[in-house]
Structure 1
Amino acid sequence: MAISFDKAFGVHQHALVARSGRAELLAGNLANADTPGYKARDMDFQAALSQAQNNQNFSLNRTHLQHFAVELAPPGTVQYRVPTQPDTGDGNTVDVQAERNSYMENALQYQASLEFLNGKINGLLKAIKGDSM
């Protein structure tokens, strides 16, 4: 009998990919908080999750075998954030407090998916090994 990991793990395996991409975007916003003209970006998480579930992965072509494989966020999921504070004159739209809050919320949701997957994997291991712990 084959184990279907898609059924066992549910949406959480795809949520990790989408949450990881969102964490990179939010970290980039925080890193560029003082960069003149930088426009804060965020991800349409629902669209990214839907595309991850449909196995629509996008990656860059590698031109050399020693290059790292880089996966990109699916097209249409990365958007510019609507500014929540008045322009300070440098054109930067990053609100540091809002970005930190979004980053922490995303990190908590990422951790929740990891915990869920860990529980599922432990359950599968017990079933395979026949442990009666």
Structure 2
Amino acid sequence: MLDKLDAEFAFGREALDVRAHRQELLSSNIANADTPGYRARDVDFASSLAGALKKTGAPGTAASATLAGTSNAAPLAMAQPVGVTSGMSMNATEAGHMAGNARLAATGGTTQDYGQLKYRNPTQPALDGNTVDLDTERVQFADNSLHYESGLTVLTQQIKTMLAAITSGG
């Protein structure tokens, strides 16, 4: 039951994790704007998406040929929730208790699952080798913040909807 409930929030949680990781990269770029030789980094969305599609065997990818005839509903490795898995036996002291094994285990991906980091191509390179353009970084930072907030709002609404369904007594 808990694993199904947790799976409902897996996508939103993973989206927030990716946005938080990107926010760290962008803030690092801004902090190193005056560091000679520093190269601005960002997440390469296209390669991340291609890698994720290849993992699931989406149509048109090499993995889909090997998974022919199977469902395309396999979850992404990075979208796996922290879930309840088998391992810990539960005590049933009454006849009505559910028997089962449960263990909380982190099964989510690492930040390497968000795709390879790419160096940003500067529009106007500096003489000291620094590729950070503060205007670009600030715009990307604000855009990422906005997307993070909207993802948080969606996740909050999902929680409120589930709480309303639970407390309605229906």
Q: Is the structural similarity TM-score above 0.5?
A: yes
Determine if the alignment matches structure 1 residue 96 to structure 2 residue 134: yes
- Matching residue within 121, 145, 161 for 1:123: 161
Q: Deviations over 1:76-105 (max 9, x none)?
A: 4211111111x2210000000000000000
For residue 113 of structure 2, give the secondary structure of its aligned residue in structure 1. Answer: coil
Q: Which amino acid aligns with 1:5?
A: D
Gap regions ≥5 residues in structure 2 = 53-76, 81-106
> Structure 2 CA distance, aligned partners of 1:98 and 1:43?
14
Q: TM-score, normalised by structure 2?
A: 0.60
Asked whether the equivalents of residues 38 and 93 of structure 1 are also in contact (C-alpha less than 8 Å), the reply is yes
Asked whether the equivalents of residues 26 and 42 of structure 2 are also in contact (C-alpha less than 8 Å), the reply is yes
Asked whether the equivalents of residues 19 and 144 of structure 2 are also in contact (C-alpha less than 8 Å), the reply is yes
Gap regions ≥5 residues in structure 1 = 59-71
In the TM superposition, residue 128 of structure 1 has moved relative to its aligned partner by 1.1
Number of residue equivalences: 117
- Give the match for residue 21 of structure 2: 21
In the TM superposition, residue 4 of structure 1 has moved relative to its aligned partner by 3.5
- Give the match for residue 39 of structure 2: 39
Asked whether the equivalents of residues 43 and 77 of structure 1 are also in contact (C-alpha less than 8 Å), the reply is yes
CA RMSD of aligned residues (A): 2.7
- Matching residue within 123, 145, 149 for 1:111: 149
- Give the match for residue 83 of structure 1: 122
Asked whether the equivalents of residues 14 and 52 of structure 1 are also in contact (C-alpha less than 8 Å), the reply is yes
